[in-house]
Amino acid sequence: MKIVIAGGSGSLGRALATDLVRRDHEVVVLTRTPGRSGGPPPGAVEIGWDPRDVPSWAHALESDGEIAVVNLAGKPVDCRPTEENIRALRTSRVEATEALVEASRRVSRPVDRWLQASTTAIYGDAGEQQITEDTPDPVDGLPQMTGIVRPWEAAARDAHAAHRVTIRTSIVLDAHTPALDRLLLPARLGFGGPIGAGTQWFSWIHIDDWLRIARAGLGLSPRMDLPDAPVIAASPHPVRNDELMRCLREAVGQPLALPTPEIILRLAAVALRTDPLLALTGRHTTSTVLEDRGFEFRFPRLADALADLVRR
């Protein structure tokens, strides 16, 4: 299959491109900054794209055989929740998705598969609610979460594709990535106790399991196919923040466990230019779609996932 990955220069896109190349698929990475991070993974092709100039790159979606589009494009969410940043987060996703949709309508036939990235942040701060694909999407929510994800998903609905899967991804844990490094940092510094109340839910997924779900969404898993609908990519065992911090301490061998009160986190977030609600809010998300299809997680438990990734 020819697979076009928009936003393929980020950590998740590079992991997926590398995985698909190893399986002998033709991978084309659309990136606004060609050559970034040393270029595409070996075996992949990189094409510069500007969502405002669709005719210059729409040809990338042409193929004589099967073709898929993976839309991962968007500004990283690890930033201060200012109105300007929230607008940039939303615009980077919606404009890129609208451009891909337009490109899909310029080519000679529908793309066979469309894998649309999304996030469980659409559910906002869900408290004690246990969320699955059957849970109704919230009408309102935090502007930096629900306010970004709802229009992002909506922008993909007119894609000219035979089959479209939307993966609502929880926190992806992968070695040597900003997300895992940011999680491990306080534990390494001795601040491995609960953050804030410590009761907020943390939903997560190991990179290897995410890649398996992505391949299923692309129709590349012979024993499992995913529906033309949203699918939650999260471990079947979410943890509360206090357990998350304990597992992080154990993974790096740090016995010291100073807690991080909310006021300290908010002050640190200013210095780190991040959003404190990324740590102070949470969601308990699991997938009934994957369970019904017999998907078996290789890393269902957080301690095992972290141990594997720290070894890497």
Summarised one tens digit per residue, pLDDT across range 206-243 is: 999 999 999 999 999 988 989 999 999 999 999 999 99
- Is the pTM higher than 0.85? The answer reads yes
Instruction: Look at residue 129 and tell me if it is in a domain.
Output: yes
Summarised one tens digit per residue, pLDDT across range 175-197 is: 989 889 989 988 999 989 999 99
Instruction: Look at residue 267 and tell me if it is in a domain.
Output: no
What pLDDT, on a 0 to 100 scale, did the predictor assign at position 200? 98
Instruction: Look at residue 103 and tell me if it is in a domain.
Output: yes
Instruction: Look at residue 304 and tell me if it is in a domain.
Output: no
Output the domain CATH number for residue 209: 3.40.50.720
Summarised one tens digit per residue, pLDDT across range 9-54 is: 889 999 999 999 999 999 999 998 887 767 888 999 999 999 999 9
DSSP state of 223: T
Q: How far is Cα 35 from Cα 39, in angstroms, rounded to an integer?
A: 4
Number of domains in the chain: 1
Instruction: Look at residue 193 and tell me if it is in a domain.
Output: no
Instruction: Look at residue 243 and tell me if it is in a domain.
Output: no
Query: Mean pLDDT across the stretch 102-126?
Result: 96
Give the closest residue to 94 by CA, choosing from 77, 74, 115.
74
In which domain, by residue range, is 82 found?
2-173+204-235+284-298
Instruction: Look at residue 275 and tell me if it is in a domain.
Output: no
Place of tokens 């073709």: 67
Burial of residue 168 (CB within 10 Å: 0-12, 13-18, 19+) is buried
Instruction: Look at residue 248 and tell me if it is in a domain.
Output: no
